[in-house]
Copies of this chain bind each other. A is one copy, B any other.
Amino acid sequence: MQHYNIYEMGLEQNPANYTPLSPISYLQRAAFVYPERVAQIHQDTRYTWAQTYDRCVRLASALNGMGVKKGETVSFLCANIPPMFEAHFGVPMSGAVLNAINTRLDAEAIAFILQHAETKILFVDREFGPVAKKALAMVAVKPTVIGIDDEYYNEGELLGETTYQALLDQASTDFDYLLPENEWEAITLNYTSGTTGNPKGVVYHHRGAYLNAANNIVSWDMGKHPVYLWILPLFHCNGWCFPWTIAAAAGVSVSLRHVRADDIYSAIHTHKVSHFCGAPIVLNMLNNAPAEMKGNIEHEVNAMVAGAAPPAAVIEGMERMGFNVTHVYGLTETYGPCILCEWKDEWSDKGISEKAALKARQGVKSPMQEDLMVASPDDMQPVPRDGETIGEIFIRGNIVMKGYLKNPSASEEAFSGDWFHTGDLAVWHEDGYIEIKDRSKDIIISGGENISSIEVEDVLYRHPDVEEAAVVAKPDDKWGETPCAFIKLKAGADADEKSIIDFCRNNMAHFKAPRRIIFGELPKTSTGKIQKFVLRQQARDDG
């Protein structure tokens, strides 16, 4: 007898029961339901959700008027100010793909991106005019350039024949923007800030952006109307998708041009900031700020921290100040964080150091990411959940990129075996939480034993004189490699090499303790990551 399925007959998709998922829908709803609520704060400027929606429609309309077509790239080189926030809606509303460029890149890297992305229109904040000018000189096919003239900032150089605001002023407000025809269509393009080689263009789709926006609310328990401060750059994985999250929650987007402790504390106090994201280095800076700058914060401030495992001491310091720190993990390829250290009630009774140690683990998949495993990179078999065996982190689900732009071989490699390969190494604890031990290339192999540079750094950060620390492998005739630590001391501190090595030996297995300590400033990437490849060279060159 033929098996037929009664649920597949006459029950097809139609416009009444199926809409492609797109975060544009969140903006439309926020403007419809909360037209008068403040959506954006930038110094003395306020835009409501109705005004923000209007500005985004005008941007889409203007781009359309300039001949931008579906699937073309519109790039922004801009600080965390309203045009950069609005671009996350206005550009896709025109059918184009938003490419937010890392503002800390040099001209060569920017030129590479403009060429690779085939950028049609480039918007340039006056702060980055000089570097953009140099970059444009290197580009064969020049994009149209539009200046962004921030009324609260007058340095740099304004490029282009017109400005973002003039474009908006002249644009139509009744432009009939479209949702994507298919939710798999590209929404943004983010270049990886790889420490070596040419950056890769990571393509996000509307479906993933929509789902991750909701995922951020659910996983962080954000509630309605969060007040979000832009410490994390909007060019960094689209600010971990928070522009779309803020719209979905009808919250407030608080601009921040420069990441400075005084500006951050001022915003927290003035606007009652409830949420921000950032790298551990930012927590470090906030933690080390003078007491009079910190003031007394009486409302709840939630910080989401990723980028590297924040040292337990830093997490501990922030919690003591009353910040609620959530540790997360992700990559550009996963729309930013999709793994979080989900907190358990029963942990709340533990001591603050033990809590910080639990919190320093990267954790579990977030509610709307599908799957996560730590497995052998060779055969992709999961490692035992023993908290000791190191494996590679693999992720799959709906919050994973479409792939790398114009780089099918890299995409294929990244997705081989039906999982996304993160290249990060971790252990899997018995309770299912993962803990990163290193980037594949950062692991130190000494006498055949693996040493996690992160584990050594974590001990160093507990030393009272250490402000920043990074550990890399140093070639060694006898051991193959040994750990070499680079340290920036706190102002006024005077610890020497021997005392720090002794401290490490007292707090970890001897073979893991650094054999060499080098003091000084640590080199960083534009996103604040320590450039270990520079340190590795220094370690090699060091007598």
Using a CB–CB cutoff of 8 Å, the interface residues on chain A facing chain B are 3, 5-19, 21, 25-26, 29, 32-34, 69-71, 73, 97, 118, 184-186, 189, 203, 214, 217-218, 221, 223-225, 248-249, 342, 344-345, 364-365, 367-368, 370-371, 395-398, 400-403, 405-408, 411, 414-415, 418-420, 432
Q: Cβ of B415 and Cβ of A16 under 8 Å apart? A: yes
How many Å lie between the Cα of A18 and that of B396 in the bound state? Answer: 8
B6, B401, B405, B432: the one contacting A118 at CB < 8 Å is: B6
Q: Closest residue to A97 on the B side, CB-wise?
A: B7
Interface residue SS majority, chain A: loop
Contact of A214 among B5, B32, B218, B370 (CB under 8 A): B218
Judge whether B402 and A367 touch: CB under 8 Å: no
- Closest Cβ of chain B to A203, distance in Å, is 6
Q: In the assembled complex, which residues on chain B have CB atoms less than 8 Å from the CB atom of A415? A: 14, 16-17
Whole-angstrom CA separation of A13 from B32 in the bound complex: 33
Top 4 A-B residue pairs of the complex, sorted by shortest distance between their CB atoms:
A5-B71, A10-B408, A7-B186, A15-B418
Nearest Cβ in chain B — how far from A138, in angstroms? Answer: 21
Residue from A19, A69, A118, A186 with most neighbouring chain B CB atoms (10 Å): A19
* A218 CA to B185 CA, complexed, in Å: 25
Q: A368, B214: Cβ atoms under 8 Å?
A: yes
Copies in the complex: 2
Knowing A19-B370, A432-B33, the reply to whether A5 touches B70 (Cβ < 8 A) is yes
Q: When chains A and B are docked, how far (Å) is the Cα of A21 from the Cα of B370?
A: 9
Q: A17-B401, A33-B342 are in contact. Are A370 and B25 (CB under 8 A)?
A: yes
Which residue, of A345, A398, A411, A419, has the highest number of chain B Cβ atoms within 10 A?
A398
In whole angstroms, how far apart are the Cα atoms of A16 and B368 in the complex? 14
Contacts of A249 in B (CB 8 A): 218
In the complex, the answer to whether B401 meets A6 with C-beta atoms within 8 Å is no
Could you list 15 A-B pairs, sorted by A, with CB under 8 Å?
A5-B71, A6-B73, A6-B118, A6-B405, A7-B189, A7-B402, A10-B406, A13-B184, A16-B419, A17-B400, A17-B415, A19-B371, A214-B218, A217-B217, A248-B367
Separation of A495 and B440 alpha carbons in the complex (Å): 81
Q: What is the bound-complex CA distance between A398 and B21, given in angstroms?
A: 8
Max chain B CB contacts within 10 Å: which of A14, A19, A401? A14
Q: How far is the CA of A295 from the CA of B375 in the complex (A)?
A: 54
A395: B residues at CB distance < 8 A = 16
Closest chain-B Cβ to A416's Cβ sits at a distance in Å of: 9
Give Cα distance in the complex from A402 to B432, angstroms: 37
Give the residues in chain B near A344, CB-CB below 8 Å: 34
Chain B residues closer than 8 Å to A397, beta-carbon distance: 17, 19
- Please tell me if the beta carbons of B223 and A221 are within 8 angstroms of each other in the complex: yes
A414: chain B residues at CB < 8 Å are 16
**A14 touching B214 by the CB < 8 A rule?**
no
Cα A411 to Cα B14 with chains together (Å): 11
Bound Cα distance A430, B21 (Å): 28
Report the Cα distance A19→B29, complex, angstroms: 27
A19 to B398, CA, bound (A): 6
Q: Is the CB of A17 within 8 A of B214?
A: no
Nearest B residue to A219 by beta-carbon distance?
Answer: B224
**Contacts A7-B71, A217-B218, A221-B223 known; 12 new A-B pairs at CB < 8 A:** A7-B189, A16-B395, A16-B415, A16-B418, A17-B402, A17-B420, A19-B398, A214-B368, A217-B217, A218-B248, A223-B223, A248-B367
What chain B residues lie within 8 Å of A5 (beta carbons)?
70-71
Closest to A419 in B: B16
Please, which residues of chain B bring their CB within 8 A of the CB of A13?
184
Q: Complex formed: what's the CA distance from A397 to B217 in Å?
A: 21
When C-beta atoms are compared, the residue in chain B nearest to A398 turns out to be B19
Count chain B CB atoms within 10 A of each CB in A33, A224, A371, A419 and give the residue with the most.
A33
Q: How far is the CB of A77 from chain B (nearest CB, A)?
A: 20
Q: Which residues of B contact A406 (CB under 8 A)?
A: 6, 9-10
Contact partner, A396, options B17, B407, B419, Cβ 8 Å: B17
Q: With A71-B5, A214-B214, A405-B7 in contact, is A398–B18 under 8 Å at CB?
A: yes
Inter-subunit contact B15/A402 (CB<8 Å): no
Residues of B close to A203: CB separation below 8 A: 7, 11
